[in-house]
């Protein structure tokens, strides 16, 4: 007899381990609509509060993969490696990273999403480039991976449809922050995508989903095990997200910063994280004899970027859109910038129009926040500290309000920088 | 700003107390359909696993009462008292109790439900009486309370509609066994019903919802406090449900047993519990100078029964329906009946057709189980121990299967009877 939804919910409610057949049945039945949204919502809350064993998470992930198609890159002439970030403020790393790794001889099949809330989406950033399109067929993707070596595009509906449905449900039922469900959601898509190696960038801090190193380590350890069990060479870096990355948060402003990095410049932290992730991806794909720093220096990463953008209809030479209005926030006093809070900056960028509150909202290509100093930098009273960008000046007040308590200028003698890469798991 | 469903769910998920305004809003919004089933299901699971304070349960109950109409019996010439049982096997007590208390001068406005699962429903039992109808208008109910003093009828849709909707949701989402939700469900209906005094019969044991005295005491204490806070004189008795009540479980068979009690006979345990509950109801209504045993003995309780049945279209003199087929289970050996399991008997009666699996199913009036000995009685090998009744003989096998391990005949020297009334709360 097939399991019954109330029996499966009751087992997890009563702190029992779900059996393989219970997990297979409930994920499949939910995807088919035989288990109702209200039943899956109760189960998701029970999983959030009572947890899941490693075995249960693994089986749940496998069941979500089995709900849809799997991609296959074995026909490519080079190995594949992908990166996933759990989401942060100013996190444009995919943009310089994908062409850089491609320039080192490893193909990067990056299926990305759009942003929701205060962390930006990679596709939203790239769509600020005139002509660039996010949707590719599987054949177009494969052909571009062979010719250019890097693709950043929207995930099709065929990959892990169970996850798509469950994610939308978790979003409205307060069941997003459950490590078993976060881990299986991310890993089901990445494993179905068919990458050979995977590097996870697990963010920690105010601007990230995981507020503490312990939570981030648990999530990272869980995901690395899921990847290894599925035959994907997987490692994770825990990286700091108490301070936003680089000097920009938004869409076109982050593309410009990424191009600066590919041109050999850009903020030191963005360069550092891009190289650290590139080295892990190359190692995972068995190409660790190549130093990605050389490919940044010799311009080949920039060549790969231009080819990648062009292949998807974008004009890499066209000027990027700018916002109609800007507003400068000066430094309130002279001293050292001792704190710049990632969540405050992310919310400000969101309120300026760079992000969306609902899936169906549009984003402004030019909107965002640019800051002119990073923690540890000395600033002079009255010098520009932030420039806010938006098409709709009525948005400035609410952005300024959230930015207000998000930074501090003071005596720098006690300031100690925190490391960007906190820990490696794998 | 109105609270948001995800915020309310998140608060309970994170073990916070919900505020009055959060509770008022979420109960009202759920009743209106502004909070979706999947959101309430996640909240119900969070309440089940993280609990609620006494204040939260009180406010939740008040919000459910406020979702519908309240009845008012203040125009009656006599006080009112009601009884609620949490449900047990062979629990026909309402049938002799309501007319008995009416015969003592206290009106009993009993709004009842139908059975679902292995415990029978009072309305299902009464509907086995030819002509009897469960649906009354509020005016008919009031008029019968004045003239006869007792009404047992179906609760209208107007009382606590939030509870009706939430109960149906809990039933399919594994969120039934949550004490805050059970207590507020029962008490919202009883308080809205407008009774002046209330006695709760909280069952404990294998055939009951609460398996242990501790759980039953927690539920009883919670409900008594809710009643007192609402101005209803409320007490609870914890009573044994490891053994079924009386000698019958079903519909017409339980009506016959109730009539036996009203005629001055019937099983001792049914008489004992009926009198114990009657005394509590009379005390709660300020009529404790009357001894209900006298009203059983002098036939006035039987008169009230006949009047009550007639007022609702039933013929109290008509023969009760009987099942088309019977099957006798003989005692397997000589000795003492040392165990008779309430759950086994309840499931057997259910499988014979006395109960329903889904709300829309019909029940058989004649189906049920009759046992010919109670624990402690001496039996002789081969004498009839059970008689099973059903219209559909193909049901016997599955009923016998569940009854199999539900009783034991053995050496009676170690047998000690357990008390029927375990504890009084209030």
Q: What is the pLDDT of residues A123-170, one digit of tens each?
A: 999 999 999 999 999 899 999 999 999 999 998 788 899 999 999 899
| A69 part of a folded domain | no
Catalytic-labelled residue, pool B59, B83, B84, B395: B84
- Positive or negative CA dihedral for B111, B117, B120, B123? positive
Distance from CA of A149 to the nearest CA of B (A): 42
Q: Are A73 and A195 in contact (CB under 8 A)?
A: yes
Residue A212's Cβ-count burial label (10 Å; 0-12, 13-18, 19+) is exposed
Instruction: For residues B387-403, give the mean pLDDT.
Output: 97
**In a shared domain, residues B32 and B143:** no
pLDDT, residue A2, reads 59
| A213 part of a folded domain | yes
Q: Which of B4, B34, B45 to mutate to test the interface with A (most CBs of A within 10 A)?
A: B45
**In a shared domain, residues B193 and B304:** yes
Residue of chain A whose Cα is closest to the Cα of B11: A174
Q: Is A37 on the interface with B (CB under 8 A)?
A: yes
- Compute CA B129 distance to the chain's CA centroid, rounded to the nearest angstrom: 19
Q: How confident is the model at residue B312 (pLDDT cuts 50, 70, 90)?
A: very high
**In a shared domain, residues B204 and B285:** yes
Instruction: For residues B274-300, give the mean pLDDT.
Output: 96
| B316 part of a folded domain | no
Catalytic-labelled residue, pool B83, B118, B164, B189: B189
| B63 part of a folded domain | no
Q: Do A44 and B46 touch (CB under 8 A)?
A: no
Query: Does residue A120 have a pLDDT over 90?
Result: no
| B424 part of a folded domain | no
Q: Which of B173, B175, B209, B358 to mutate to test the interface with A (most CBs of A within 10 A)?
A: B173
Instruction: Residue B48: list chain A partners with CB under 8 A.
Output: 13
Distance from CA of A163 to the nearest CA of B (A): 17
Tell me the residue ranges of DSSP E strands in A195-341: 197-204, 233-240, 248-250, 325-330, 335-340
Instruction: Report the CATH number at residue B236.
Output: 3.40.1030.10
pLDDT, residue A14, reads 97
Instruction: For residues A94-118, give the mean pLDDT.
Output: 90
Catalytic-labelled residue, pool A82, A124, A163, A269: A163
Q: Do A45 and B40 touch (CB under 8 A)?
A: no
Q: Do A48 and B6 touch (CB under 8 A)?
A: no
Instruction: Report the CATH number at residue A36.
Output: 1.20.970.10
Residue of chain A whose Cα is closest to the Cα of B44: A42
Identify which of A42, A48, A50 has the shortest CB distance to residue B41.
A42
pLDDT, residue B234, reads 98
pLDDT, residue A400, reads 98
Q: Do A173 and B45 touch (CB under 8 A)?
A: no
Q: Do A48 and B13 touch (CB under 8 A)?
A: yes
pLDDT, residue A358, reads 76
Q: Do A5 and B41 touch (CB under 8 A)?
A: no
**Neighbour tally for B394: CB within 10 Å:** 8
Mean pLDDT for chain B overall: 95
Q: How confident is the model at residue B360 (pLDDT cuts 50, 70, 90)?
A: confident
**In a shared domain, residues B105 and B253:** yes
Residue of chain B whose Cα is closest to the Cα of A168: B38
Q: Are A13 and A44 in contact (CB under 8 A)?
A: no
| A65 part of a folded domain | no
Describe the strand order of the beta sheet including A233-240 as a list of residue ranges.
A81-85, A197-204, A233-240, A421-425
Percent of residues, chain B, with pLDDT higher than 70: 99
Selected residue with higher pLDDT from B4 and B50: B50
CA–CA dist B196, B285 (Å, integer): 7
Q: How confident is the model at residue B113 (pLDDT cuts 50, 70, 90)?
A: confident
Instruction: For residues B280-294, give the mean pLDDT.
Output: 96
pLDDT, residue B115, reads 65
Q: Do B50 and A49 touch (CB under 8 A)?
A: yes
- Positive or negative CA dihedral for B395, B400, B401, B407? positive
Helix, strand, coil: what percent of chain B each, to 5?
45, 15, 35
Mean pLDDT for chain A overall: 95
Phi, psi of A2 (to 5 degrees): -65, 145
Percent of residues, chain A, with pLDDT higher than 90: 88
Closest by Cα among B86, B284, B66 to B183: B86
* Domain span including residue A397: 325-414
**In a shared domain, residues B158 and B257:** yes
Query: Which residue, A263, A288, A311, sits at the end of a domain?
Result: A311
Query: Which residue, B311, B344, B366, sits at the end of a domain?
Result: B311
Q: Is A163 a catalytic residue?
A: yes
The torsion of the CA quartet B118, B123, B128, B134, rounded to 10 degrees, works out to -160
| B37 part of a folded domain | yes
pLDDT, residue B84, reads 96
**In a shared domain, residues B170 and B203:** yes
In b/e form, how buried is each residue of B180-219, taking b as 16+ CB within 10 angstroms? Answer: bbbbbbbbbbbbbbbbbbbbbbbbbbbbbbbeebebbbbb
Q: Is A84 a catalytic residue?
A: yes
**In a shared domain, residues B303 and B333:** no
Query: pLDDT tens for residues A287-343?
Result: 989 999 999 999 999 999 999 999 999 999 999 999 999 999 999 999 999 999 999
Q: Work out how many CB contacts closer than 8 A connect A with B.
A: 90
**In a shared domain, residues A117 and A158:** yes
| A287 part of a folded domain | yes
Which residues, numbered 38 to 57 in chain B, qualify as contacts with chain A under a Cβ-Cβ cut-off of 8 Å?
A: 38-46, 48-50
Query: Which residue, B311, B345, B373, sits at the end of a domain?
Result: B311
CA–CA dist B395, B251 (Å, integer): 17
Q: Is B9 on the interface with A (CB under 8 A)?
A: yes
Catalytic-labelled residue, pool B163, B201, B240, B341: B163
Identify which of A38, A49, A50 has the shortest CB distance to residue B41.
A38
pTM of the model: 0.89
**In a shared domain, residues B238 and B360:** no
Instruction: Residue B50: list chain A partners with CB under 8 A.
Output: 49
Q: How confident is the model at residue B13 (pLDDT cuts 50, 70, 90)?
A: very high
Describe the strand order of the beta sheet including B197-204 as a list of residue ranges.
B81-85, B197-204, B233-240, B421-425
Query: Does residue B288 have a pLDDT over 90?
Result: no
Instruction: For residues A259-284, give the mean pLDDT.
Output: 98
Query: Does residue A1 have a pLDDT over 80?
Result: no
**In a shared domain, residues A235 and A363:** no
pLDDT, residue A116, reads 62
**In a shared domain, residues A185 and A296:** yes
pLDDT, residue B15, reads 98
Please count the structural domains in chain B.
3
Instruction: Report the CATH number at residue B368.
Output: 3.90.1170.30
Q: Is A179 on the interface with B (CB under 8 A)?
A: no
Query: pLDDT tens for residues A27-63?
Result: 999 999 999 999 999 999 999 999 999 999 999 999 9
Query: pLDDT tens for residues A73-88?
Result: 999 999 999 999 999 9
Q: Is B144 on the interface with A (CB under 8 A)?
A: no
Residues forming a β-bridge with A340: A407
Identify which of A36, A42, A45 has the shortest CB distance to residue B13.
A45
pLDDT, residue A22, reads 97
- Compute CA A300 distance to the chain's CA centroid, rounded to the nearest angstrom: 25
Distance from CA of A341 to the nearest CA of B (A): 23
Q: Which of B13, B41, B211 to mutate to test the interface with A (most CBs of A within 10 A)?
A: B41
**What is the ipTM score, two decimals?**
0.88
Q: Is B189 a catalytic residue?
A: yes
pLDDT, residue B88, reads 93
**In a shared domain, residues B200 and B243:** yes
Contacts of A24 by beta carbon, 8 Å cutoff, 6+ apart: A59, A63, A66
Instruction: Residue A41: list chain B partners with CB under 8 A.
Output: 38-39, 41-42, 45, 173
**Neighbour tally for A51: CB within 10 Å:** 15
Q: Give whole-number Cα distances, A48 to B13, B194, B284, in Å.
A: 9, 40, 45
């Amino acid at each position: 007899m097939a399991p019954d939804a109330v029996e499966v919910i009751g087992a997890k409610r009563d702190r029992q381990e779900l059996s393989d057949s219970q997990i297979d049945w409930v994920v499949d039945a939910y995807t088919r609509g035989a288990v109702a949204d209200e039943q899956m919502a109760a189960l998701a809350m029970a999983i959030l509060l009572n947890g899941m064993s490693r075995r249960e998470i693994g089986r749940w992930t496998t069941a979500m993969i089995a709900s849809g198609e799997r991609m296959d890159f074995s026909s490519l002439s080079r190995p594949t490696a992908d990166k996933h970030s759990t989401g942060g403020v100013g996190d444009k790393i995919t943009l310089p990273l994908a062409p850089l790794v491609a320039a080192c001889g490893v193909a990067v099949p990056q299926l990305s999403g759009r942003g929701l809330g205060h962390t930006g989406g990679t596709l939203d950033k790239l769509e600020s480039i005139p002509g660039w399109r996010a949707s590719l067929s599987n054949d177009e993707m494969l052909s571009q991976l062979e010719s250019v070596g890097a693709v950043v595009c929207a995930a099709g509906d065929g990959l892990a449809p169970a996850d798509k449905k469950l994610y939308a449900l978790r979003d409205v039922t307060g069941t997003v922050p459950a490590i078993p469900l976060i881990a299986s959601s991310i890993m089901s898509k990445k494993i179905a995508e068919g990458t050979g190696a995977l590097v996870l960038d697990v963010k920690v801090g105010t601007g990230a989903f995981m507020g503490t190193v312990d939570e981030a380590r648990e999530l990272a350890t869980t995901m690395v095990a899921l990847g290894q069990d599925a035959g994907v060479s997987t490692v994770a870096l825990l990286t700091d997200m108490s301070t936003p990355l680089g000097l920009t948060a938004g869409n076109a402003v982050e593309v410009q910063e990424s191009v600066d990095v590919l041109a050999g410049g850009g903020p030191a932290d963005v360069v550092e994280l891009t190289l650290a992730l590139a080295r892990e991806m190359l190692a995972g794909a068995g190409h660790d004899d190549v130093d990605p720093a050389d490919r940044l220096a010799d311009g080949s990463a920039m060549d790969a970027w231009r080819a990648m953008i062009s292949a998807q209809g974008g004009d890499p030479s066209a000027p990027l859109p700018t916002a109609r209005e800007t507003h400068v926030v000066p430094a309130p006093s002279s001293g050292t910038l001792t704190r710049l809070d990632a969540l405050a900056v992310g919310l400000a960028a969101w309120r300026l129009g760079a992000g969306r509150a609902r899936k169906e909202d549009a984003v402004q290509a030019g909107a965002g926040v640019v800051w002119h100093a990073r923690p540890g930098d000395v600033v002079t009273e009255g010098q520009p500290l932030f420039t806010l960008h938006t098409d709709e000046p009525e948005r400035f007040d609410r952005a300024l309000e959230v930015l207000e308590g998000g930074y501090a200028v003071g005596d720098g003698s006690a300031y100690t920088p925190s490391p960007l890469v906190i820990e490696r798991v794998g």
